[in-house]
Structure 1
């Protein structure tokens, strides 16, 4: 008996998002042929269901690998005056999404993300809106989502309609591929073959390769900037601590408003720079008058330069650098050293330096320890 492939999108995202800590709590329900009303598609780290099949709201943010939140899927738009037809269309959208989650071949290698699932939903919702626009058309009355997905003429009409975008053609192609692999007997209707739509492949809009000399110039620029700052790191830290006092470094007029005329005035910003010994950093600065506000802007500039330097040297993506913490450089032993009976090291331990929690490292660690 051939065992059915139940590799699914959310399972792979769950493993990446939670690792070993979430097993048994953050995992979605296993695949069934017909999901029940209480079927759970997504759980958070505590095991709370955030996407239940029968609910009108599906939230896949617990499986989001990025820090940026996803749009929550809602099934509450009234496409047509008939609530019965609306409910029917939503049931069809949910089942197609369910098939895409559990039977998308790309999910085996982790290519499909929660964000891609949202894009599928947007396209399916547009098809539902297209169906609603045909509600008064006597030639195609009472068509539904499955009718459009199984009819080449309807699909071409949708893709040529003003509500459709070039990205919808890409999503429709992907949806049809998965549905056809699943088969008409399993899903209840015969989807179109995407080749019948004669979709033209869009030209790639990739950025040309950036010359290495530009990277080298940027590295040299940022390295020099950071080297100058490094000598004053403790001084800058002391100023930041002092600035917990909102009057510290503020203009005299501001301090008078905050403290009153009888208050004990704090040094203004130029005096702060002199007091903490970082005035030499601003000798060639374009800022004419240094204020508390401009100092904060300068701190943001430091953060930006440090972040860009991390990108250049590590190749980390935006969200990976955003997850770095203070004192983030750490050593992780991926394999222990092999020592003989006399204590001599035959094979030294393999150690990697970790600067952030990345999905790449999570998968690498699982492969090594699994």
Structure 2
């Protein structure tokens, strides 16, 4: 089985073998890491270290190759290589960082590149007769040497990744301590290596128009792929034959004794009725570029999962074939005679681990129909590719690499869904308009987006997976967005489920979306779960909806809150207040639970509690409520509706009296406030 784990058990097992003695050094045959089959993948004295078994992410990282530091070795260069080796060992086992309590495999790979550059610099000093070859210990303990190295890094315009990595690594080496290193670092904290310590910006929310377009476009693609999921699977299975889908000329060159030809690629597509799939972004004309088209399909499916779950990039990439589970929200109701009166309520979740072997060992996310359908398409592709690999699909990652189609020696693993393989429609889905830019700027007033080239008007929106996460948390609570007429019902259904199951008041929050920790003997809900961003995003979305309603148009508004907003509009027009100040105060009130926002028949309501009249659809009480926002057009439409309804009922009936009472209240309000304003 292809395993995706956090490597923590491997790490802890190795760490337990390291003596407390600070003078201890690992022997060349000391095994640092083993793969899933138990074969050593990292032996301390080896020329290559494969840290992938330690890796949390599904994608593979390159090997650490110690023989790549120098093109040939002598005593001086061999000494530098051994220093690099031991420093990496120390960084792996003696530094406490990150959520796993250690540096990640990817970070160690980066620090190897940093140390390799430093080792080459040390050897290059051989050309300086006043210094000669120096060791890494000399470089890191001599302030003059280290200052010189910093100047060299800056003058040679070394990449920012190396410069930042050098600064961070030196801080970790200091933390390792003299007792393990054998020496003490001096004069390192003042060195910047040319790094500009600018505060990183928060991931922006995708503008409404672009986000809506992506949701609807992805849904169209999913519908097409879902309808053809079975045909896609059988189509891929057919490529088990090395001749299938090739031209007759290519088949003859591969098999000189061929007596009957297999279908060429065009014939294969037609016979499986997949012409509608392999068009536009997914078009391909021969077997050689089919794997690229499959990767773009996987990109689309992965994007849909991001859009509807808020999962991070590698959380999606680590999904196994069996990733959808049913969770019981409430038990079935059974009467005294054993008859089931109400079935149990089930919600589907998606997780990076299954529950087949006991408790789930990772967090889970809500899986709406769109997510389940995207997974079913991906599963069909996985089954088809598993036939080519001659393995059981149950043991495979959901996004199995399609490299096997043309390369029989391809290794089992996940697809490389990097920027090179992204569908063109995701790269150029929408060009940023002036309205998009203004909305973007309003979402973060303290940040000047005009200084950032990727967000300029006319540029394609720069999609990042974390934007999907933040946008879901934001728009999922935005009643203004949810009420858009062009928004598909699938997203509206998702927001209903999020509101029901992602709130702190849901009693099974931890057991359904968390994972069981045997040491704590309890269910743990990771602090980076999207549901926390969803909960925290409530004040921001309330403020956005309310301010958009208040200042998004010039139409007159009335009611308790409506009158206050009208006064604020006047102050805004006169320059007495600024929209940023209004937004800040509104977010503060929302965060404190003193204000809310929901659309009503007459306009909107800012009451933060439960309103029984709102639940019953009774609009009359809104006219005397201090928390109401009443719009002239909606009030007059409600009056017209009530007048039409009244004509349908017999005078004196209960229905007639209820409608008449509401109509009188609405007309009274209209006469008292709106008619006076119009005069």
TM-score (norm 1): 0.69
In 2: Cα distance, 1:320 partner to 1:65 partner: 9
Where does residue 662 of structure 2 map in the other structure? none
Of the candidates 202, 216, 219, which is equivalent to residue 215 of structure 2?
Answer: 219
Where does residue 311 of structure 1 map in the other structure? 306
Contact preservation (8 Å) 1:31, 1:102: no
User: Which secondary structure state, in structure 1, belongs to the residue aligned with residue 46 of structure 2?
Assistant: coil
Output one character per residue of 1:106-153: Cα deviation in whole Å (capped at 9) or x when no partner: 156447211111111111121111111111323223421111111222
Contact preservation (8 Å) 2:31, 2:40: yes
User: Which secondary structure state, in structure 2, belongs to the residue aligned with residue 176 of structure 1?
Assistant: helix
Where does residue 17 of structure 2 map in the other structure? 29
Where does residue 196 of structure 2 map in the other structure? 201
Output one character per residue of 1:254-313: Cα deviation in whole Å (capped at 9) or x when no partner: 99999999959969958974x76777x48xx669x9966699576655443222211211
In 2: Cα distance, 1:53 partner to 1:146 partner: 20
How far the C-alpha of 1:189 sits from its partner, in A, is 1.7
User: Which secondary structure state, in structure 1, belongs to the residue aligned with residue 67 of structure 2?
Assistant: coil
Of the candidates 55, 80, 84, which is equivalent to residue 75 of structure 2?
Answer: 84
In 2: Cα distance, 1:277 partner to 1:180 partner: 63
- Structure 1 position 147 matched with structure 2 position 138: yes
Alignment of 1:6-85 (within 5 A): 16-17=6-7, 29-30=17-18, 32=20, 33=22, 34-37=24-27, 38-76=29-67, 83-85=74-76
Of the candidates 159, 168, 188, which is equivalent to residue 162 of structure 2?
Answer: 168
In 1: Cα distance, 2:26 partner to 2:262 partner: 69
Alignment of 1:128-139 (within 5 A): 128-139=119-130
- Structure 1 position 367 matched with structure 2 position 512: no
Where does residue 3 of structure 1 map in the other structure? none
Alignment of 1:291-302 (within 5 A): 296=290, 301-302=296-297
Report which of the two structures shows the higher radius of gyration computed on alpha carbons. Answer: 2
Contact preservation (8 Å) 1:329, 1:355: yes
Contact preservation (8 Å) 1:26, 1:46: no
In 2: Cα distance, 1:44 partner to 1:192 partner: 39
Alignment of 1:341-360 (within 5 A): 353-357=349-353
Where does residue 115 of structure 2 map in the other structure? 124
Judged with a 3 Å threshold, the aligned counterparts in structure 2 of structure 1 residues 215 and 365 are, in CA distance, closer, same or farther, namely same
Contact preservation (8 Å) 1:332, 1:354: no
Judged with a 3 Å threshold, the aligned counterparts in structure 2 of structure 1 residues 154 and 81 are, in CA distance, closer, same or farther, namely farther
Where does residue 6 of structure 1 map in the other structure? none
User: Which secondary structure state, in structure 1, belongs to the residue aligned with residue 36 of structure 2?
Assistant: coil
Alignment of 1:138-287 (within 5 A): 138-161=129-152, 162=156, 164-198=158-192, 200-203=195-198, 208-237=204-233, 269=266, 273=270, 281=276
In 2: Cα distance, 1:165 partner to 1:156 partner: 18
Greater RCO (Cα-Cα under 8 Å, separation 6 or more): 1
In 1: Cα distance, 2:139 partner to 2:63 partner: 25
In 1: Cα distance, 2:14 partner to 2:327 partner: 26
Q: Which moved more, 1:256-265 or 1:190-199?
A: 256-265
In 2: Cα distance, 1:125 partner to 1:242 partner: 47
Q: CA RMSD in A?
A: 4.9
In 1: Cα distance, 2:173 partner to 2:265 partner: 68
User: Which secondary structure state, in structure 1, belongs to the residue aligned with residue 196 of structure 2?
Assistant: coil
Contact preservation (8 Å) 2:11, 2:54: no
TM-score (norm 2): 0.41
Contact preservation (8 Å) 2:93, 2:102: no
Output one character per residue of 1:89-114: Cα deviation in whole Å (capped at 9) or x when no partner: 23322232222112213156447211
In 2: Cα distance, 1:261 partner to 1:57 partner: 44
User: Which secondary structure state, in structure 2, belongs to the residue aligned with residue 321 of structure 1?
Assistant: helix
In 2: Cα distance, 1:232 partner to 1:78 partner: 50
Judged with a 3 Å threshold, the aligned counterparts in structure 2 of structure 1 residues 160 and 332 are, in CA distance, closer, same or farther, namely farther
Contact preservation (8 Å) 2:124, 2:133: no
Q: Which moved more, 1:171-180 or 1:242-251?
A: 242-251
In 1: Cα distance, 2:297 partner to 2:303 partner: 10
User: Which secondary structure state, in structure 2, belongs to the residue aligned with residue 139 of structure 1?
Assistant: coil
User: Which secondary structure state, in structure 2, belongs to the residue aligned with residue 140 of structure 1?
Assistant: coil
Alignment of 1:331-346 (within 5 A): 331=326
User: Which secondary structure state, in structure 2, belongs to the residue aligned with residue 330 of structure 1?
Assistant: strand
Where does residue 324 of structure 2 map in the other structure? 329
Contact preservation (8 Å) 2:52, 2:60: yes
